[in-house]
Structure 1
Amino acid sequence: MTLIKTIIFDLGGVLIDWNPEYVFLKAFHGDKEKTKWFLDTICISDWNENQDAGYPLEQATNDLVAKFPEYENYIRLFYGNWENMLGGEISGTVTILKQLLAIKKYKIVALTNWSSETFPIAQKRFEFLNWFEGIVVSGDEKTRKPFKAIYDITLERFNIYPETSLFIDDNLRNIEAAKSLGIHGIHFKDPETLINQLKTFNIAL
């Protein structure tokens, strides 16, 4: 049976509810179809992930405005109104985190794709971000999941052995990358499912 000594949490989508739709549904007056089109066509996830890897928000915004000048006002909303994309904590997972910390047998850290410019906003809002032994923020490292470098940084910084570590992320791509490096993974769906998934690694809450 696998002996887990370290648990690595993703943040957005696992512990923190973050969704650009919170801003753009309002901007497009509740039009879900237009919101989806805008986020699939203009402010796409690949563009945002570039900022997660350290590209400056202002430069990224100006680049996109130059490409789609007719959508300038909406493009500038993405980072201009970014704080309103934070929907709150995912309370069920925060409870699981608290329970794991109470057991006092695991090293618990976080690995997140997040711009170094916006992460301080989350730090001020969410007290539980202070509970981790440490957090690797992609924007600070100038690389991001699923690239090998950020996993290597995490393992080395916190003296983690991949074979005794478990990574929890809502993005399957990131889990597969972790597994390729020998890190065990759980593809997060919801807190209730996570409790059962942890049991498969002999982690009972």
Structure 2
Amino acid sequence: MKVSTVIFDFGGVIAEEGWAKGVRIIAAKCGHEPESFFELCVQAIHDTGFCLGKVDEYGYWTHVKTLINLPMSATELKNEILPRFVVRPYVIEMAENLGRKYRTAILSDQTHWLDELNERDGFFKSFQHVFNSYHDGNSKQSPSYFTETCNKLNIFPQEAVFIDDNKGNIARALGVGMNAVLYETFEQTADELKKYVEI
């Protein structure tokens, strides 16, 4: 089936992965081992439902603080993370070029921070659709989010190619019938995309 739609992850694809970088910086500043602190923070996202919109950032960090000493305010914590999401202009250019022939979308497990980052950088305008787990109440941890997204786009999964830097997300997308490319480098991603679309 011919591909009609290209779907991009945000952090790690459209932008540098600010969450992972920021959380590890926070760990170092607070005297925690970066990798174990990162895993704790990731688990807390799922436990609180932060990426599903069930709590706001204050509720999320309050929960984290019940698990580990974290002598920083929610604002200070956010300020370590959001500036590290640096939009990659070459990915934006690719998306805009693809948008002339195909439908394009963002599919992100971001929180409301995605909206704040768009206010800062204005990247939503380069895509035709934006799907954010925080607003949709579902996440890429569930295969159903991929099928729901295809349904909203009124396409079969086989009509989409999904780009993400997370192997688990790629596996779940493939599992529902989507085409998928694991983002490792921009050059590698562009080469693999050529199997599905004209760039």
Give the shorter-chain TM-score range: 0.7 to 0.9
CA distance in 2, matches of 1:9, 1:59: 28
| 1:89 maps to 2:83 | no
Structure 1: gaps of 5 or more residues: none
Q: Give the aligned residue type for 1:64.
A: V
CA RMSD of aligned residues (A): 2.5
Q: Is the 8 A contact 2:14 2:92 kept in 1?
A: yes
Residues 77-121 of structure 1, C-alpha deviation per residue, up to 9 Å, x if partnerless? 4336442332x11233222112212xx2211111110113x2221
Other-structure match for 1:25: 25
Task: Report how many residues are paired.
Answer: 194
| Secondary structure in structure 2 of the residue aligned to 1:28 | helix
Residues 147-199 of structure 1, C-alpha deviation per residue, up to 9 Å, x if partnerless? 12321221121112111111111111111111111111111111111111012
TM-score of the superposed pair, with normalisation by structure 2: 0.84
Q: Is the 8 A contact 2:11 2:18 kept in 1?
A: no
CA distance in 2, matches of 1:3, 1:61: 44
Q: Is the 8 A contact 1:54 1:143 kept in 2?
A: no
Q: Give the aligned residue type for 2:45.
A: N
Compared CA separation, residues 23 and 39, structure 1 to 2 (3 A): closer
Identity %: 19
| 1:120 maps to 2:128 | no
Instruction: Name which one, 1 or 2, has greater alpha-carbon Rg.
Output: 1
Other-structure match for 2:58: 58
| 1:109 maps to 2:105 | yes
Q: Is the 8 A contact 2:139 2:145 kept in 1?
A: yes
| Secondary structure in structure 1 of the residue aligned to 2:110 | coil
TM-score of the superposed pair, with normalisation by structure 1: 0.82
CA distance in 1, matches of 2:26, 2:178: 40
